[in-house]
Chain A
Amino acid sequence: MAMFAALVAVLGQLPAIPLAGGVPITLQTLGVMLAGAVLGPWRGAGAIVLLHLLVAAGLPLLAHGSGGLGVFAGPTAGFALGWIPGAFLVGLITQASWPLRLWRTITGTVLGGILVVYACGLPVMAFQLGLSLQQALLLNLAFVPGDVVKAVIAIMLTHSLARAYPAPFTHARRRRTSRGPAR
């Protein structure tokens, strides 16, 4: 868990990858999706909570070295806090069975990694800026393609990792025996 919190932090610091359109993105939300998908709901969300505790304590662990309590007072606070339920949902859906099923990983990553994060982020941003929800959504549309690309990368990585190194997927592997009459 601690290791993954640190991994999410480091992914935020790596040089941003400029997309074809020229919009730079960092890999931090990729880390959030992976935390849920690889560690499962509880430990995945726990890793994000750990990260946020350290950020609130003043360490510059978020994207581009930002950190401190100010992050949680700013307009993007909702997105950062949305990572916690986001990672949880990614883990819950992705690791519902073992071996992992591709459609589950896709549903989980899109629902938890993108929709939940926006659902938490947009109201906070709209409230802070005095905008309506639609206006806030319009402002953030530029980030959606980057998030979709990251979701695709997260899905591919999760499935290669599950084949190459299944040890961390404990939540799903514990459920191996409990799948039965459902299929």
Chain B
Amino acid sequence: MPKKKAKSRQRIEKKTEGTISRRSVLKIGAAAGAATVLAPNIIKSGKAFGAAFTDPPPPLVQCTAAVRSPVHTPFVDDLPVPFPAIDHPLSPPPQEVANTGAGEWPRANHQRWAQFTPAHVTTELEARPGLHRFHSDFGDSYIWGFNGVYPGPMILNRYGKPTIVRFRNSTPPNGDNTFGHPEITIHLHNGHHGSESDGFAGDFFPSGRWKDNLYPNCYAGLDQFGGNGDSREKMGTFWYHDHRAEKTLNNNVMGLNGMFIVYDPTDPGHEHPSAGSLRLPGYYGVTDFPLILTEKRFCALDAQGRNEMVNAAGGDKWIVNGAIQPNLKVRNRKYRFRILSTGPTTAQWDLKLIGPNGTSASETMTVVATDANFLEHPVPVDDGANAANSNAVVGATIVTPGAIRVNVAERYDVIIDFSKYAVGSFLYLGDFGAGRSQNVNDTGSGNTNPPGLPPGLNIGNVIMRFEVLNKETWFPADTPDIPTTLCTMPDPIVPDTTFEWNFNRDPAGSVPRLFRINNRVFDANVPQHCIIKGTSEEWFIDNNDQVGTNWAHPVHIHFEEFRIIERWAIVNGVFQQVPVPILYQGRKDVTKVEPGEAARIRMRFRDYTGKYLIHCHNMGHEDAFMMVAWHIVPDAAAKAVCDSLIVKANEEFEAKLRGEEV
């Protein structure tokens, strides 16, 4: 926007301050600078008719100044539901060998190409700039999203139908005056696939290039079980996100993530009584909703009529599927919600459902899956009889009884039965972790409890609202009771060997004092552990940071799901074994270790070779080094060579500490 217009805009704001609502200011802004304010909408509608896409104008400045985000009116917006990605043929068609001539970024050949191709499904997700309005009281915000939207399109897949997703990087090559970095590598969390499709943090590619990720949608255990693997290894709720080394936080705050669901006969994506179906609420966007949580901060309305996102790890607005405190109209029947925390950093959501009377004593959320994996038996969580099922645990103490704690990158699939509530009543999903209500748009920021909020509930704790409607005759009938058994666990893992991972920040007296794993920073070229394909291991994941340092680490391991065998913590000054909360007893791919805590996990490494990662999923921590690579190698000979890499790197490390020039 020309300076003159910006100035006149400021004048308008000044003049109208205190006498006019924000919404009408926005309208005046649109009139004053119609060209720039309206252009994005025209572009959007043009795109719908197949016109060439033009990037929206970049932010005027990198917005960093906001102390508090602007106020908003709660519950006026509907919960957005990410639009499913549409399958379509790719041109040029995908191939086993990277098609570098046509712009594909170099990679190793797709593993198991012959087995999983011709792929049944292909689609393309293009990372590019877009505008997204997080609240109807706000102007647009400039984002980077897959296909220009946030959250990214929902990918709905099916076991047995492999998919190739072509990730195209159309972010502006100069970063477009944002805090994003225009190099990306996309990880499907937590897919079982080749390293070349895993979005390894060092394998990022620049703007103008693309890369095909082959997601076989197979169960782990292909070699062992044949066919499409061990169906007990089924997973459901995945998510995909940028994993660029050093810039994962920035690019995820910009908006580069989305959800990815894979159906199978037990969980088929519909509610009909088909063979093997658990008949959980299952129509996507009708009775089965993602709840993608994050927190953001926004700058004041600018001269471009926009509320830009602040480049900040934390936030003072809680976002669900890209909306601030939205409302979801539900019918009086059972619903499934796939809750995902995209962080980005320290956010942990201690979720409770609050009923119309302001309590959550019988407002039960029944957890059916943790990190994409069905629990053997459903686990009800509420503030009454089921308060002890909470996984908001530090040491041996439940810190938020009756809550489901969602750490960064974790997923919890819950069933809520709205049939017991009167039509017209409201329920609230909130975060009741200690200190969390201070964070958001509570009374301190000018927002007050809206009328009708149940007594005792602070708007600052509320993430979203459910509005119970009467189920129309055309609406799908309620599903049967939740089955008491949801799955059969895979055979117990018998480890071939053990290994220890130490996560720490600052052991006294050490140099350098960084976020490290096993004393090492992230090195794209050097593994810290080598594993022979087809073996199993027991890992001790230890957070060596002292109690009280607040350096908690939600540790994520790529590739296969693990089982938590033991938890350890310092209780009364003694490092001792503590119970594993019932919600951590299923299959997992993230385990949070609080300072001084540890987890013993068991995991298999089957079917593929290559580089994979273990890292803290606090995106600030992983960008600040807390990530290391481990390799799956084809055989014992390759392991010996791989191990020699570690020895060589250790020698270099030691030599550097001796002051030698290496």
A and B from one complex:
no
